[in-house]
Amino acid sequence: MMILSLLFALLLCLQLGHGESYNNSATSFYFGLMTSSGYLTISTLSPLNVTYNITIESFNYTRNGTVTKNRPDPYVYLSWHFRTQSNSFADRFKGIHLTSDQPISVSFSDYFSEYLILPYHEYPGVSQYEYYAVSTSSYYNYTLSQVLLVGCINNTVINIIPTVDLFIPIDVQKNGSDDILVTKGNSHTITLHEGQTLLLGKGNGSDISGTHFISNKPLTVITGHQCGSTPDMIETPSCHEMQLQAPPVITWGKRFILTNFINPYFDSTYSSYVKTVTSQANTSITIHCDGATNTTRYSTNGAIGTYQYNITEYCYVEADKPIVVVLFPHSYFYYISTMVLIPPIEQYFQE
């Protein structure tokens, strides 16, 4: 997982497709725990002392610390007690708020996964934010393909359009609210306030990838699986906890580089499973990999592409409209995988 930490450290500067530039470092973050306990790594580019503060109001929990450029805090423990376990009202108030007096960068890791915690940004002139879930299926039907929504700003109105039938509370602000079955392709609208959480998921081998969230204000969307399996892992059979934070569509790109994840404990190179999601209809995606070129055209937004390659060096992905790319590298005879968000090449540029 340290490889991912080094990768994340390179991704501080990003550039939006419409010319707005921003940093993944910020002074305010909202997120939540979707599965188990884990650790935050908090770092800064400042040579001076930067003070951070973590609060979880529903637990009366606070923690303070100080970091500098040469002294990050790599082991900030978050207990499994803080996780959001259901869509019930009792689990509605488990948002974790991290603030600092100067910009910091944050990542979360546990035994199975590691991903960057993205700050929430309100962009000038933007009144609609879109997000898509990315997940997988599982060999074990009792585990959930799931997504955790965390409100960052009061009165955030969210339209949820699932790709599988989901039970969602009719009124997430009402204790004891009944659930409504929102069938595939239909929609349900909710409102979340700052720090509120809502967990959605489905078992029985379901995959909620492509589930669409449209909000009037920025959200935190953490997506993955309680114990997910790629097609190779289903054959094994095996499953692993998987999760990452989904970026808003406004930050997606068109060009990507895929590389093999070297496992220092095994000499064999295992194939990698790749998922893409389209942001617009009639999107063409071309992948140059393993000496071959494959082009696929997707007719709708939110369309899921799945590919599998034995990446010996690197592969190049390009699209004519913005997409997101998630890599599922394998290890240990296809018993283990994780989810890795691949940043578009455009995000390495800075004006």
pLDDT band at 285 (very low <50, low <70, confident <90, very high): very high
Q: What is the pTM of this model?
A: 0.91
Check residue 264 and give its pLDDT: 57
- 113-141 pLDDT per residue, tens: 889 999 999 999 999 999 999 999 998 99
Assess whether pLDDT exceeds 70 at residue 351.
no
Assess whether pLDDT exceeds 50 at residue 13.
no
Check residue 117 and give its pLDDT: 96
Count CA atoms closer than 13 A to 54's CA, side-chain side. Answer: 23
Check residue 19 and give its pLDDT: 38
Check residue 268 and give its pLDDT: 56
Query: CA-to-CA distance for 247 and 8, rounded, in angstroms?
Result: 14
Check residue 314 and give its pLDDT: 87
Region of poorest pLDDT, from 43-57, 98-112, 322-336 = 322-336
SS3 assignment for the chain:
CHHHHHHHHCCCEEECCCCCEEECCEEEEEECECCCCEEEEEECCCCCCEEEEEEEHHHCEEEEEEEECCECEEEEEECHHHECCCCCHHHCCCCEEEEEEEEEEEEEECCCCEEEECCCCCCCCCCCEEEECCCCECCCCCCCEEEEEEECCCCEEEEEECCCCEEEECCCCCCCCCEEEECCCCCEEEEECCCCEEEEEECCCCCCCCCEEEECCCEEEEEEEEEEECHHHHHCCCCEEEEEECCCHHHCEEEEEEECCCCCCCCCCCCEEEEEEECCCCEEEEEEECCEEEEEEECCCCCEEEEEECCCCEEEEEEEEEEEEEEECEECCCCEECCEEECCHHHHCCC
- 148-167 pLDDT per residue, tens: 999 999 999 999 999 999 99
- 224-245 pLDDT per residue, tens: 999 988 888 888 888 888 999 9
